[in-house]
Amino acid sequence: MQAKRMAAERAAQLVKDGMAVGLGTGSTATLAIRALADRVAGGLRIRATATSERSAQMAMQWGIPLVSLEELERLDLTIDGADEVDPQWCLIKGGGGALLREKIVASASAQFIVIVDASKLVTRLGAFPLPVEVTPFGHVQTLRRLGALGCDAALREQEGQLYRTDNGHYIADCRFADGIAQPAELELRLNAIPGVVDNGLFVGMASRIIVGHEEGAEELVR
């Protein structure tokens, strides 16, 4: 947790007065929301929009002024975690089920700051099952077509029920036995399947990657 905190606190320092900020989802993003809340309590003036109901709840509780994405022309910066980061800065996200809103918010941001601990750095994506958000309608067909792309696709469950995202969809966690060789191509192929709303591959989106360690944080250089 300390390493995640180091990355989160470094990212929170990048936020300047007057910025519109996207708040990510997950344990690392939560630490960034906390760090930002402390800065807001100290006088920083920002407007923020959240990538999940959970993050919105925390931000509200901790005194960060929230607006809907629709009220913002653009975002200056979004801070979010990731499940895997490869050497080309391609990401897998969605372990917490928030990938769709995360991708919408990140793509509306001038800067997308990714915060991770070193355990998230991989040479090839795919040891972490790729989350794909699918519509409940037709999901059996959709999963079949996902499987035809060479993965084992299983619907995510939570407490014995099918997991539902904040958008009311299911998540199919897709395991590719040999990992993901071509993330950019796979992202497009997945999204071309009817019934797929979006997938957790984030390609060419990260502006900065901050890696936390026990004693500090470093920025990856490309």
| Residues in touch with ligand R5P (CB under 6 A) | 24-29, 80-83, 93-99, 102
Shortest distance (Å) from residue 165 CB to ligand R5P: 9
According to the annotation, is 95 in a ligand binding site?
yes
According to the annotation, is 26 in a ligand binding site?
yes
Shortest distance (Å) from residue 205 CB to ligand R5P: 12
In the complex with ligand R5P, the residue whose CB is nearer, 138 or 175, is 175
Among all residues, whose Cβ is closest to ligand R5P? 26
In the complex with ligand R5P, the residue whose CB is nearer, 101 or 139, is 101
Shortest distance (Å) from residue 78 CB to ligand R5P: 11
Catalytic residue among 9, 102, 133, 187: 102
Distance CA 63, CA 38 (A): 9
According to the annotation, is 120 in a ligand binding site?
yes
73 is catalytic: no
According to the annotation, is 51 in a ligand binding site?
no
Catalytic positions: 102
Could you list the residues known to form a binding site, using ranges.
Answer: 25-28, 80-83, 93-96, 120
Could you list the residues known to form a binding site for substrate, using ranges.
Answer: 25-28, 80-83, 93-96, 120
